[in-house]
Structure 1
Amino acid sequence: MSLVMDFAGKVVAVTGGARGVGRGVVEAFLDAGADVEFCGRSEPTTLPERDGRPASFRPVDVRDAAQNEAWIAGVAERHGRLDVLVNNVGGSPFGRFEAGSPRYFQAITEINFLSAAVATRAAFPALRAASGSVINITSISARRPSPGTAVYGAAKAALESLTRSLAVEWAPEIRVNAISSGLVHTESAVDHYGTPEQYAEIARTIPRGRLASPQELGNVCVMLASPLSAHVTGAVIPVDGGGEWPAFLSHTPNADIVQQADRLDITGGSSS
Protein backbone atom coordinates (compact mmCIF):
# COMPACT_ATOMS: atom_id res chain seq x y z
CA MET A 1 0.00 0.00 0.00
CA SER A 2 1.32 3.43 -0.92
CA LEU A 3 1.35 5.64 2.13
CA VAL A 4 0.23 8.84 0.44
CA MET A 5 -2.72 11.11 1.10
CA ASP A 6 -4.36 10.67 -2.30
CA PHE A 7 -8.14 10.64 -1.99
CA ALA A 8 -8.96 10.48 -5.70
CA GLY A 9 -12.13 8.41 -6.09
CA LYS A 10 -12.95 8.73 -2.39
CA VAL A 11 -16.13 10.39 -1.08
CA VAL A 12 -16.14 12.62 1.98
CA ALA A 13 -19.18 14.06 3.81
CA VAL A 14 -18.70 17.07 6.10
CA THR A 15 -21.38 18.57 8.33
CA GLY A 16 -21.31 22.36 8.52
CA GLY A 17 -18.71 23.02 5.84
CA ALA A 18 -19.78 26.49 4.71
CA ARG A 19 -17.35 28.46 6.87
CA GLY A 20 -14.88 28.28 9.72
CA VAL A 21 -13.36 24.92 10.59
CA GLY A 22 -15.77 23.08 8.32
CA ARG A 23 -14.66 25.09 5.31
CA GLY A 24 -11.05 24.27 6.13
CA VAL A 25 -11.93 20.56 6.28
CA VAL A 26 -13.75 20.69 2.95
CA GLU A 27 -10.84 22.46 1.26
CA ALA A 28 -8.25 20.08 2.72
CA PHE A 29 -10.05 17.03 1.33
CA LEU A 30 -10.52 18.77 -2.02
CA ASP A 31 -6.76 19.40 -2.05
CA ALA A 32 -6.24 15.67 -1.48
CA GLY A 33 -8.41 14.84 -4.52
CA ALA A 34 -11.61 13.70 -2.82
CA ASP A 35 -15.18 14.25 -3.93
CA VAL A 36 -16.66 16.30 -1.08
CA GLU A 37 -20.25 16.97 -0.08
CA PHE A 38 -21.11 19.24 2.83
CA CYS A 39 -24.28 20.46 4.44
CA GLY A 40 -25.47 23.43 6.45
CA ARG A 41 -28.50 25.51 7.21
CA SER A 42 -27.52 28.37 4.87
CA GLU A 43 -25.98 28.04 1.42
CA PRO A 44 -22.52 29.64 1.14
CA THR A 45 -21.97 32.50 -1.29
CA THR A 46 -19.25 30.50 -3.05
CA LEU A 47 -18.53 26.78 -3.29
CA PRO A 48 -14.95 25.72 -2.59
CA GLU A 49 -13.37 23.99 -5.55
CA ARG A 50 -10.04 22.64 -6.77
CA ASP A 51 -9.05 22.11 -10.40
CA GLY A 52 -12.64 22.52 -11.55
CA ARG A 53 -13.93 20.09 -8.92
CA PRO A 54 -16.40 21.96 -6.70
CA ALA A 55 -17.66 20.59 -3.43
CA SER A 56 -21.39 19.90 -3.38
CA PHE A 57 -23.72 21.58 -0.88
CA ARG A 58 -27.12 20.55 0.47
CA PRO A 59 -29.25 22.59 2.93
CA VAL A 60 -29.71 20.44 6.04
CA ASP A 61 -30.56 21.12 9.65
CA VAL A 62 -28.60 18.30 11.27
CA ARG A 63 -30.61 18.68 14.50
CA ASP A 64 -33.52 17.18 12.55
CA ALA A 65 -32.79 13.46 12.54
CA ALA A 66 -34.83 12.77 9.40
CA GLN A 67 -33.01 15.48 7.40
CA ASN A 68 -29.67 14.32 8.76
CA GLU A 69 -30.24 10.67 7.85
CA ALA A 70 -31.65 11.52 4.42
CA TRP A 71 -28.58 13.62 3.59
CA ILE A 72 -26.15 10.87 4.57
CA ALA A 73 -28.12 8.31 2.56
CA GLY A 74 -28.18 10.72 -0.39
CA VAL A 75 -24.42 11.19 -0.38
CA ALA A 76 -23.85 7.43 -0.50
CA GLU A 77 -26.49 6.98 -3.21
CA ARG A 78 -25.23 9.79 -5.44
CA HIS A 79 -21.64 8.53 -5.38
CA GLY A 80 -22.16 4.84 -4.82
CA ARG A 81 -19.95 4.95 -1.71
CA LEU A 82 -18.97 6.93 1.38
CA ASP A 83 -15.41 6.77 2.68
CA VAL A 84 -15.18 9.49 5.34
CA LEU A 85 -17.68 11.29 7.56
CA VAL A 86 -16.51 14.41 9.39
CA ASN A 87 -18.90 15.53 12.11
CA ASN A 88 -17.95 19.19 12.35
CA VAL A 89 -21.16 21.03 13.22
CA GLY A 90 -21.15 22.55 16.69
CA GLY A 91 -20.96 25.66 18.81
CA SER A 92 -22.64 27.49 21.64
CA PRO A 93 -23.42 31.06 22.71
CA PHE A 94 -21.97 32.23 26.01
CA GLY A 95 -24.29 32.26 29.00
CA ARG A 96 -24.47 31.36 32.65
CA PHE A 97 -25.67 27.83 33.32
CA GLU A 98 -28.44 28.86 35.73
CA ALA A 99 -29.92 31.16 33.08
CA GLY A 100 -30.35 28.34 30.58
CA SER A 101 -33.73 26.73 29.97
CA PRO A 102 -34.30 22.99 29.44
CA ARG A 103 -34.97 23.71 25.75
CA TYR A 104 -31.65 25.55 25.50
CA PHE A 105 -29.82 22.59 27.08
CA GLN A 106 -31.54 20.27 24.61
CA ALA A 107 -30.62 22.42 21.60
CA ILE A 108 -26.95 22.61 22.60
CA THR A 109 -26.84 18.85 23.10
CA GLU A 110 -28.57 18.22 19.78
CA ILE A 111 -26.15 20.31 17.75
CA ASN A 112 -22.94 19.23 19.48
CA PHE A 113 -23.58 15.56 20.22
CA LEU A 114 -26.82 14.03 18.97
CA SER A 115 -26.41 15.31 15.40
CA ALA A 116 -23.06 13.53 15.18
CA ALA A 117 -24.49 10.34 16.69
CA VAL A 118 -27.36 10.32 14.18
CA ALA A 119 -25.13 11.03 11.18
CA THR A 120 -22.61 8.39 12.24
CA ARG A 121 -25.29 5.74 12.69
CA ALA A 122 -26.78 6.60 9.28
CA ALA A 123 -23.36 6.34 7.63
CA PHE A 124 -22.58 2.91 9.11
CA PRO A 125 -23.54 0.67 6.14
CA ALA A 126 -21.66 2.74 3.55
CA LEU A 127 -18.62 3.25 5.77
CA ARG A 128 -18.42 -0.47 6.55
CA ALA A 129 -18.57 -1.33 2.85
CA ALA A 130 -15.71 1.10 2.15
CA SER A 131 -13.65 0.30 5.28
CA GLY A 132 -14.02 4.01 5.94
CA SER A 133 -13.60 6.29 8.90
CA VAL A 134 -15.40 8.81 11.07
CA ILE A 135 -13.73 11.96 12.38
CA ASN A 136 -15.47 13.95 15.10
CA ILE A 137 -14.50 17.56 15.77
CA THR A 138 -14.54 18.10 19.51
CA SER A 139 -13.06 20.85 21.68
CA ILE A 140 -10.65 21.58 24.49
CA SER A 141 -13.85 22.44 26.39
CA ALA A 142 -14.46 18.69 26.68
CA ARG A 143 -11.40 18.27 28.89
CA ARG A 144 -11.16 21.40 30.98
CA PRO A 145 -13.69 23.63 32.76
CA SER A 146 -15.89 25.52 30.33
CA PRO A 147 -17.62 28.25 32.37
CA GLY A 148 -20.23 30.04 30.31
CA THR A 149 -20.51 27.10 27.90
CA ALA A 150 -20.85 24.25 30.38
CA VAL A 151 -23.41 22.23 28.40
CA TYR A 152 -21.33 22.63 25.24
CA GLY A 153 -18.29 21.22 27.05
CA ALA A 154 -20.34 18.33 28.40
CA ALA A 155 -21.72 17.54 24.94
CA LYS A 156 -18.23 17.53 23.43
CA ALA A 157 -17.04 15.24 26.24
CA ALA A 158 -19.89 12.88 25.31
CA LEU A 159 -18.73 12.98 21.68
CA GLU A 160 -15.22 12.00 22.72
CA SER A 161 -16.63 9.10 24.73
CA LEU A 162 -18.70 8.00 21.72
CA THR A 163 -15.55 8.16 19.60
CA ARG A 164 -13.66 5.77 21.85
CA SER A 165 -16.59 3.37 22.24
CA LEU A 166 -17.39 3.13 18.52
CA ALA A 167 -13.72 2.65 17.68
CA VAL A 168 -13.96 -0.63 19.62
CA GLU A 169 -17.50 -1.57 18.64
CA TRP A 170 -16.94 -1.03 14.91
CA ALA A 171 -13.42 -2.40 14.66
CA PRO A 172 -11.86 -3.60 12.47
CA GLU A 173 -14.04 -2.39 9.59
CA ILE A 174 -14.43 1.30 10.52
CA ARG A 175 -11.97 3.60 12.24
CA VAL A 176 -13.37 6.33 14.51
CA ASN A 177 -11.21 9.23 15.72
CA ALA A 178 -11.63 12.77 16.96
CA ILE A 179 -9.81 16.07 16.83
CA SER A 180 -9.85 18.17 19.99
CA SER A 181 -9.79 21.69 18.60
CA GLY A 182 -8.23 24.57 20.44
CA LEU A 183 -8.91 28.20 19.52
CA VAL A 184 -9.26 28.75 15.77
CA HIS A 185 -8.90 31.87 13.66
CA THR A 186 -12.20 31.94 11.77
CA GLU A 187 -13.82 34.77 9.82
CA SER A 188 -15.31 36.29 12.96
CA ALA A 189 -12.50 35.52 15.41
CA VAL A 190 -11.28 39.09 15.98
CA ASP A 191 -14.80 40.44 16.51
CA HIS A 192 -15.63 37.51 18.78
CA TYR A 193 -12.83 38.49 21.18
CA GLY A 194 -13.67 42.20 21.08
CA THR A 195 -10.80 44.17 19.56
CA PRO A 196 -7.57 43.35 17.72
CA GLU A 197 -5.71 44.03 20.96
CA GLN A 198 -7.90 41.59 22.91
CA TYR A 199 -7.52 39.02 20.13
CA ALA A 200 -3.73 39.35 20.35
CA GLU A 201 -3.91 38.92 24.12
CA ILE A 202 -5.88 35.68 23.67
CA ALA A 203 -3.34 34.44 21.12
CA ARG A 204 -0.56 35.00 23.64
CA THR A 205 -2.18 32.49 25.99
CA ILE A 206 -1.40 29.72 23.46
CA PRO A 207 2.16 28.35 23.68
CA ARG A 208 2.67 28.63 19.91
CA GLY A 209 1.53 32.23 20.09
CA ARG A 210 -1.37 32.10 17.66
CA LEU A 211 -4.74 30.52 16.93
CA ALA A 212 -4.99 27.58 14.54
CA SER A 213 -6.19 28.07 10.99
CA PRO A 214 -9.19 26.07 9.73
CA GLN A 215 -6.90 24.53 7.09
CA GLU A 216 -4.62 23.16 9.82
CA LEU A 217 -7.52 21.27 11.38
CA GLY A 218 -8.55 20.10 7.91
CA ASN A 219 -5.06 18.77 7.26
CA VAL A 220 -5.19 16.65 10.42
CA CYS A 221 -8.58 15.28 9.29
CA VAL A 222 -7.00 14.21 6.00
CA MET A 223 -4.12 12.56 7.84
CA LEU A 224 -6.49 10.66 10.16
CA ALA A 225 -8.56 9.42 7.20
CA SER A 226 -5.51 8.41 5.16
CA PRO A 227 -3.44 5.20 5.08
CA LEU A 228 -0.86 7.07 7.15
CA SER A 229 -3.20 6.51 10.11
CA ALA A 230 -4.29 3.00 9.17
CA HIS A 231 -3.81 1.65 12.72
CA VAL A 232 -5.10 4.75 14.52
CA THR A 233 -8.59 4.45 15.95
CA GLY A 234 -10.20 5.63 19.16
CA ALA A 235 -7.74 8.52 19.31
CA VAL A 236 -8.54 12.10 20.29
CA ILE A 237 -5.85 14.27 18.72
CA PRO A 238 -5.32 17.75 20.24
CA VAL A 239 -4.81 20.47 17.63
CA ASP A 240 -4.39 23.39 19.99
CA GLY A 241 -0.89 24.83 19.64
CA GLY A 242 0.21 23.33 22.95
CA GLY A 243 -2.97 24.01 24.90
CA GLU A 244 -3.21 27.00 27.18
CA TRP A 245 -0.39 28.77 28.99
CA PRO A 246 -0.44 27.64 32.66
CA ALA A 247 -1.91 30.31 34.91
CA PHE A 248 0.97 30.17 37.38
CA LEU A 249 3.33 31.14 34.54
CA SER A 250 1.15 33.96 33.23
CA HIS A 251 3.76 36.57 34.13
CA THR A 252 6.77 34.50 33.11
CA PRO A 253 7.53 34.57 29.37
CA ASN A 254 9.17 31.55 27.73
CA ALA A 255 12.60 33.16 27.58
CA ASP A 256 12.52 33.87 31.30
CA ILE A 257 11.73 30.24 32.06
CA VAL A 258 14.73 29.08 30.03
CA GLN A 259 16.98 31.61 31.76
CA GLN A 260 15.74 30.51 35.19
CA ALA A 261 16.35 26.87 34.30
CA ASP A 262 19.88 27.69 33.20
CA ARG A 263 20.57 29.48 36.47
CA LEU A 264 19.18 26.59 38.50
CA ASP A 265 21.02 24.01 36.37
CA ILE A 266 17.91 21.85 35.98
CA THR A 267 18.05 21.38 32.22
CA GLY A 268 20.51 18.52 32.36
CA GLY A 269 22.63 16.56 34.79
CA SER A 270 22.72 17.37 38.48
CA SER A 271 24.11 20.32 40.35
CA SER A 272 26.47 19.93 43.25
Structure 2
Amino acid sequence: MINLKNKSVVVTGGTKGIGAEITKTFLKQDAKVFILARDKPKRSIQAKGNKAVFIECDIRSIESLDNAVKRIKVLTKSIDVLINNAGGAPMANALKASNKFHEAIIDLNLSAPLNVSQRFAKMMMKQKTVSNIINISSVTATRPTPGSAAYGAAKGGLVNLTKTLAVEWAPKIKVNSIIVGYIETENSILHYGSTKEINKVAKTIPMQRMGKPNDIANACIFFSSDLAGWITGAALEVHGGGEKPSYLDVAKPQ
Protein backbone atom coordinates (compact mmCIF):
# COMPACT_ATOMS: atom_id res chain seq x y z
CA MET A 1 0.00 0.00 0.00
CA ILE A 2 3.00 2.29 0.29
CA ASN A 3 4.52 2.86 -3.13
CA LEU A 4 6.14 6.25 -3.61
CA LYS A 5 8.66 5.22 -6.25
CA ASN A 6 9.32 8.03 -8.74
CA LYS A 7 6.92 10.36 -6.94
CA SER A 8 8.06 13.99 -7.01
CA VAL A 9 8.31 15.52 -3.54
CA VAL A 10 9.11 19.08 -2.46
CA VAL A 11 10.36 19.66 1.10
CA THR A 12 10.89 23.19 2.38
CA GLY A 13 13.68 23.50 4.92
CA GLY A 14 14.78 19.98 4.08
CA THR A 15 18.49 20.30 4.83
CA LYS A 16 18.60 19.74 8.60
CA GLY A 17 16.69 18.43 11.59
CA ILE A 18 13.22 17.09 10.89
CA GLY A 19 13.35 18.31 7.29
CA ALA A 20 16.52 16.36 6.49
CA GLU A 21 15.02 13.19 7.95
CA ILE A 22 11.85 13.69 5.90
CA THR A 23 14.02 14.08 2.80
CA LYS A 24 16.01 10.91 3.53
CA THR A 25 12.89 8.89 4.30
CA PHE A 26 11.30 9.75 0.96
CA LEU A 27 14.58 9.01 -0.83
CA LYS A 28 14.52 5.55 0.79
CA GLN A 29 11.12 5.10 -0.86
CA ASP A 30 12.79 5.89 -4.23
CA ALA A 31 10.95 9.20 -4.55
CA LYS A 32 12.47 12.20 -6.31
CA VAL A 33 12.99 14.91 -3.70
CA PHE A 34 13.50 18.63 -4.24
CA ILE A 35 14.68 20.68 -1.27
CA LEU A 36 13.84 24.38 -0.99
CA ALA A 37 16.12 26.10 1.52
CA ARG A 38 18.27 29.19 1.93
CA ASP A 39 21.55 27.47 2.74
CA LYS A 40 23.02 24.60 0.76
CA PRO A 41 24.08 21.70 3.00
CA LYS A 42 27.80 20.94 3.26
CA ARG A 43 27.07 17.45 1.97
CA SER A 44 24.30 16.49 -0.42
CA ILE A 45 21.44 14.66 1.26
CA GLN A 46 21.09 11.14 -0.04
CA ALA A 47 19.80 7.71 0.92
CA LYS A 48 19.63 4.32 -0.75
CA GLY A 49 21.70 5.65 -3.63
CA ASN A 50 19.21 8.44 -4.32
CA LYS A 51 20.22 12.09 -4.01
CA ALA A 52 17.97 15.07 -3.27
CA VAL A 53 18.04 18.10 -5.57
CA PHE A 54 18.82 21.30 -3.69
CA ILE A 55 17.24 24.54 -4.89
CA GLU A 56 18.24 27.74 -3.15
CA CYS A 57 15.11 29.55 -2.04
CA ASP A 58 13.97 31.93 0.68
CA ILE A 59 10.29 31.03 0.90
CA ARG A 60 9.57 34.40 2.53
CA SER A 61 10.54 36.13 -0.72
CA ILE A 62 7.95 35.91 -3.49
CA GLU A 63 10.64 36.52 -6.12
CA SER A 64 12.85 33.77 -4.73
CA LEU A 65 9.90 31.39 -4.46
CA ASP A 66 8.70 32.03 -8.01
CA ASN A 67 12.21 31.44 -9.37
CA ALA A 68 12.42 28.15 -7.48
CA VAL A 69 9.06 27.01 -8.84
CA LYS A 70 10.18 27.84 -12.39
CA ARG A 71 13.28 25.73 -11.94
CA ILE A 72 11.30 22.80 -10.57
CA LYS A 73 8.95 22.94 -13.56
CA VAL A 74 12.00 22.45 -15.77
CA LEU A 75 13.14 19.45 -13.74
CA THR A 76 9.80 17.63 -13.36
CA LYS A 77 6.39 17.62 -15.01
CA SER A 78 4.45 17.07 -11.80
CA ILE A 79 4.59 17.43 -8.02
CA ASP A 80 2.93 14.67 -6.03
CA VAL A 81 3.78 15.79 -2.49
CA LEU A 82 4.56 19.16 -0.94
CA ILE A 83 5.77 19.27 2.66
CA ASN A 84 5.77 22.71 4.26
CA ASN A 85 8.40 22.01 6.88
CA ALA A 86 10.41 25.24 7.07
CA GLY A 87 9.68 27.32 10.15
CA GLY A 88 10.66 28.03 13.71
CA ALA A 89 11.21 30.96 16.05
CA PRO A 90 13.47 32.09 18.89
CA MET A 91 11.90 32.62 22.31
CA ALA A 92 10.66 36.17 22.89
CA ASN A 93 8.49 37.93 25.45
CA ALA A 94 5.33 39.15 23.71
CA LEU A 95 5.37 42.42 25.65
CA LYS A 96 8.93 43.27 24.67
CA ALA A 97 9.24 41.86 21.13
CA SER A 98 9.01 44.34 18.26
CA ASN A 99 6.30 44.48 15.61
CA LYS A 100 8.97 43.59 13.06
CA PHE A 101 9.84 40.45 15.03
CA HIS A 102 6.23 39.30 15.27
CA GLU A 103 5.61 39.96 11.58
CA ALA A 104 8.71 37.99 10.59
CA ILE A 105 7.65 34.98 12.66
CA ILE A 106 4.13 34.97 11.23
CA ASP A 107 5.52 35.46 7.72
CA LEU A 108 7.79 32.42 7.96
CA ASN A 109 5.39 30.08 9.74
CA LEU A 110 2.05 30.99 8.15
CA SER A 111 2.21 33.35 5.17
CA ALA A 112 5.09 31.53 3.49
CA PRO A 113 3.45 28.07 3.64
CA LEU A 114 0.32 29.59 2.10
CA ASN A 115 2.32 31.16 -0.72
CA VAL A 116 4.27 27.96 -1.35
CA SER A 117 1.08 25.87 -1.31
CA GLN A 118 -0.69 28.21 -3.70
CA ARG A 119 2.04 27.97 -6.31
CA PHE A 120 2.41 24.20 -6.25
CA ALA A 121 -1.36 23.70 -6.04
CA LYS A 122 -1.66 25.36 -9.45
CA MET A 123 0.57 22.58 -10.80
CA MET A 124 -1.24 19.87 -8.87
CA MET A 125 -4.68 20.91 -10.11
CA LYS A 126 -3.61 20.14 -13.69
CA GLN A 127 -2.39 16.63 -12.87
CA LYS A 128 -4.43 13.47 -13.35
CA THR A 129 -3.63 11.95 -9.97
CA VAL A 130 -4.46 13.18 -6.46
CA SER A 131 -1.63 15.13 -4.82
CA ASN A 132 -0.76 15.80 -1.18
CA ILE A 133 0.21 18.86 0.83
CA ILE A 134 1.48 18.27 4.37
CA ASN A 135 1.91 21.18 6.77
CA ILE A 136 4.26 20.74 9.72
CA SER A 137 2.68 22.44 12.73
CA SER A 138 3.51 22.23 16.43
CA VAL A 139 2.02 21.48 19.84
CA THR A 140 2.60 25.19 20.42
CA ALA A 141 -0.49 25.68 18.26
CA THR A 142 -2.68 23.83 20.75
CA ARG A 143 -1.71 25.19 24.17
CA PRO A 144 -0.29 28.28 25.90
CA THR A 145 3.44 28.62 25.30
CA PRO A 146 4.99 31.64 27.02
CA GLY A 147 7.78 33.06 24.89
CA SER A 148 6.22 31.82 21.66
CA ALA A 149 3.13 34.01 21.21
CA ALA A 150 3.58 34.83 17.53
CA TYR A 151 4.91 31.37 16.71
CA GLY A 152 2.03 29.58 18.43
CA ALA A 153 -0.52 31.84 16.75
CA ALA A 154 1.07 31.22 13.36
CA LYS A 155 1.18 27.46 13.83
CA GLY A 156 -2.44 27.51 15.02
CA GLY A 157 -3.29 29.45 11.89
CA LEU A 158 -1.48 26.83 9.83
CA VAL A 159 -3.76 24.11 11.21
CA ASN A 160 -6.83 26.16 10.28
CA LEU A 161 -5.33 26.92 6.87
CA THR A 162 -4.90 23.18 6.37
CA LYS A 163 -8.58 22.50 7.05
CA THR A 164 -9.73 25.31 4.76
CA LEU A 165 -7.49 24.37 1.83
CA ALA A 166 -8.52 20.73 2.23
CA VAL A 167 -12.08 21.80 1.41
CA GLU A 168 -11.21 24.37 -1.26
CA TRP A 169 -8.83 22.11 -3.16
CA ALA A 170 -10.63 18.77 -2.85
CA PRO A 171 -10.77 16.31 -4.47
CA LYS A 172 -7.61 16.99 -6.51
CA ILE A 173 -5.41 17.81 -3.52
CA LYS A 174 -5.42 16.34 -0.01
CA VAL A 175 -4.15 18.74 2.66
CA ASN A 176 -3.20 17.53 6.13
CA SER A 177 -1.12 18.80 9.04
CA ILE A 178 1.11 17.18 11.64
CA ILE A 179 1.13 18.53 15.20
CA VAL A 180 4.74 17.97 16.20
CA GLY A 181 5.73 17.45 19.83
CA TYR A 182 9.15 17.64 21.46
CA ILE A 183 11.67 16.30 18.95
CA GLU A 184 15.32 15.57 19.67
CA THR A 185 17.51 16.95 16.87
CA GLU A 186 21.11 18.08 16.44
CA ASN A 187 20.13 21.43 17.98
CA SER A 188 18.38 20.07 21.08
CA ILE A 189 21.34 20.75 23.36
CA LEU A 190 21.38 24.39 22.26
CA HIS A 191 17.70 24.73 23.14
CA TYR A 192 17.48 22.69 26.35
CA GLY A 193 21.02 23.16 27.67
CA SER A 194 22.17 19.60 28.35
CA THR A 195 21.34 15.93 28.03
CA LYS A 196 20.17 16.03 31.65
CA GLU A 197 17.62 18.72 30.82
CA ILE A 198 16.47 16.79 27.75
CA ASN A 199 15.84 13.76 29.97
CA LYS A 200 13.79 15.94 32.34
CA VAL A 201 11.57 16.99 29.44
CA ALA A 202 11.25 13.38 28.30
CA LYS A 203 9.85 12.39 31.70
CA THR A 204 6.90 14.76 31.20
CA ILE A 205 5.88 12.85 28.07
CA PRO A 206 3.65 9.77 28.51
CA MET A 207 5.85 7.73 26.14
CA GLN A 208 8.84 8.68 28.35
CA ARG A 209 11.05 9.83 25.50
CA MET A 210 11.56 12.74 23.17
CA GLY A 211 10.40 12.21 19.63
CA LYS A 212 12.84 11.41 16.85
CA PRO A 213 12.84 13.11 13.44
CA ASN A 214 11.87 9.81 11.82
CA ASP A 215 8.66 9.80 13.89
CA ILE A 216 7.58 12.84 11.88
CA ALA A 217 9.02 11.56 8.61
CA ASN A 218 7.01 8.33 8.93
CA ALA A 219 3.82 10.34 9.45
CA CYS A 220 4.59 12.21 6.22
CA ILE A 221 5.03 8.90 4.40
CA PHE A 222 1.65 7.74 5.71
CA PHE A 223 -0.17 10.87 4.55
CA SER A 224 1.48 10.58 1.12
CA SER A 225 0.49 6.95 0.62
CA ASP A 226 -2.69 5.20 -0.46
CA LEU A 227 -3.22 4.24 3.19
CA ALA A 228 -4.40 7.82 3.74
CA GLY A 229 -6.46 7.95 0.56
CA TRP A 230 -9.62 9.24 2.30
CA ILE A 231 -7.91 11.47 4.85
CA THR A 232 -7.82 15.21 4.27
CA GLY A 233 -8.14 18.23 6.54
CA ALA A 234 -6.73 16.19 9.43
CA ALA A 235 -4.36 17.36 12.16
CA LEU A 236 -2.37 14.33 13.29
CA GLU A 237 -0.81 14.71 16.74
CA VAL A 238 2.63 13.09 16.83
CA HIS A 239 3.78 13.97 20.32
CA GLY A 240 4.15 10.79 22.37
CA GLY A 241 0.89 11.45 24.19
CA GLY A 242 1.51 15.14 24.78
CA GLU A 243 2.31 16.33 28.28
CA LYS A 244 1.04 14.68 31.45
CA PRO A 245 -1.52 16.83 33.32
CA SER A 246 0.05 18.68 36.24
CA TYR A 247 -2.54 17.34 38.72
CA LEU A 248 -0.94 13.90 38.42
CA ASP A 249 1.98 15.22 40.46
CA VAL A 250 -0.25 15.76 43.49
CA ALA A 251 -3.23 13.46 43.03
CA LYS A 252 -3.37 9.84 41.92
CA PRO A 253 -6.54 8.61 40.16
CA GLN A 254 -8.12 5.69 42.02
After TM superposition, the score normalised by the length of structure 2 is 0.95
Q: 1:266 aligns to what?
A: none
User: Of residues 4, 7, 29 in structure 1, which corresponds to 2:4?
Assistant: 7
Unaligned 5+ runs, structure 2: none
SS at match of 1:86: strand
Aligned to 2:148: 149
Match of residue 235 from structure 2: 236
- Correspondence for 2:174: 175
**What's the RMSD between the two structures over aligned residues?**
1.3
User: C-alpha separation between the residues in 2 aligned to 1:146 and 1:76?
Assistant: 40
Partner SS for 2:11: strand
Aligned residue in 2 for 1:136: 135
Q: From 64, 68, 83, give the equivalent of 1:67.
A: 64
Look up the equivalent residue of 2:132 and give its one-letter code.
Answer: S
Aligned partner of residue 156 in structure 1, secondary structure: helix
Percent same amino acid among aligned pairs? 34
Within the candidate set 71, 85, 91, 2:82 is matched to 85
1:222 matched to which residue of 2? 221
Higher gyration radius (CA): 1
The alpha-carbon deviation at position 59 of structure 1 amounts to 1.6
Moved more, 77-86 or 232-241: 77-86
* Shift of residue 40, structure 1, vs aligned partner: 1.3
The CA deviation at 1:79 is 1.1
Separation (CA, whole Å) in 1 of partners of 2:33 and 2:192: 32
Aligned-partner Cα distance in 2 for 1:121–1:73: 14
Q: Look up the equivalent residue of 2:205 and give its one-letter code.
A: I
Matches within 5 A, 1:248-259: 248-250=247-249
Mapped partners of 1:161, 1:111: distance in 2: 16
Which amino acid letter does the alignment assign opposite residue 213 of structure 2? P
- Deviation string 1:23-45 (CA, Å, 9 cap, x unpaired) is 11111111111000112111111
Q: Which runs of 4+ in 1 moved over 2 A?
A: none
Q: Which residue of 1 aligns with 2:212?
A: 213
The residue aligned with 1:269 is: none
**Aligned 8 A contact 2:80 2:130 in 1:** yes
Number of aligned residue pairs: 252
The one-letter code sitting in structure 1 at the alignment partner of 2:199 is: A
**Deviation readout 1:99-129 (Å, 9 max, x if unpaired):** 1111111100111011100000000122221
